[in-house]
Amino acid sequence: MASYSAGNDGSQQGAPGKTYIKPPDDVLKKILTPLQYSVTQEDATERAFDNEYWNNKEEGIYVDRVSGEPLFSSVDKFASGTGWPSFSRPLEADNILEKEDNVFFIRRVEVRSRHGDSHLGHLFDDGPQPTGMRYCINSASLRFVPVRDLVKEGYGEYRALFAGRTSMDESKHHDMSGNTMKVKEGM
């Protein structure tokens, strides 16, 4: 069965084992906000430090706003200081496409979702070890699913990632230099 991802109301959400598809453009214009549409469909970039997830410290996964395919996890999220959510690796590498982006004479790597074909952001090689990668992602292209809702929303297979972990505001994470740091609420 095909699935669409919309808001946090429990409707039109994807889950592992389902077919993730990109809804038709007329549907996207109805289920996405103007900013979400502009970012995911027109390759726009939202403002740094003025977006939903740049400072989110709650444990859970991030799925494609358009298709619902699982993309990133809070386990791999780190404070990059850029004002956008940053991850050291994808949750499901098969759901991520990397494409050379030579806009404005700058050579970058664009990150897109495989099934939703959403523009997610860009990939840089200045992240923490062990990957050294920084997936700099627009919040508008993501929908966050907290650990407590993983089973309810059909992403139960990812619960094991969080077994035995404390919440992000008490656990260790890495800064841009790869150093271990404590993340406290309000940082």
In a domain, 178, yes or no: no
Check if the beta carbon of residue 135 is closer than 8 Å to that of residue 88. yes
In a domain, 160, yes or no: no
**Whole-model pTM above 0.85?**
no
The catalytic residue among 39, 63, 71, 136 is: 136
Q: What is the residue range of 57's domain?
A: 2-146
- Cα(163)–Cα(169) distance, integer angstroms: 16
In a domain, 108, yes or no: yes
In a domain, 176, yes or no: no
Which of 150, 143, 152 lies closest to 67 in space, CA to CA? 143
Beta bridge partners of 78: 86
- Predicted confidence pLDDT, tens digits, the chain (187 residues): 344 444 433 333 445 457 788 999 999 999 999 999 999 999 999 999 999 999 999 999 999 999 999 999 999 999 999 999 999 999 999 999 999 887 777 788 999 999 999 999 999 999 999 999 999 999 999 999 999 999 999 999 999 999 887 655 444 444 444 444 433 333 2
Express each pLDDT in 109-124 by its tens digit.
Answer: 999 999 999 999 999 9
CATH number for the domain spanning 40: value is 2.170.150.20
Report the domain count for the chain: 1
CA distances from 58 to 70, 78, 79 (A): 16, 12, 13
Q: What is the mean pLDDT of the chain?
A: 84
- The tokens describing 87, both together, are 């991850």
Whether 136 is a known active-site residue: answer yes
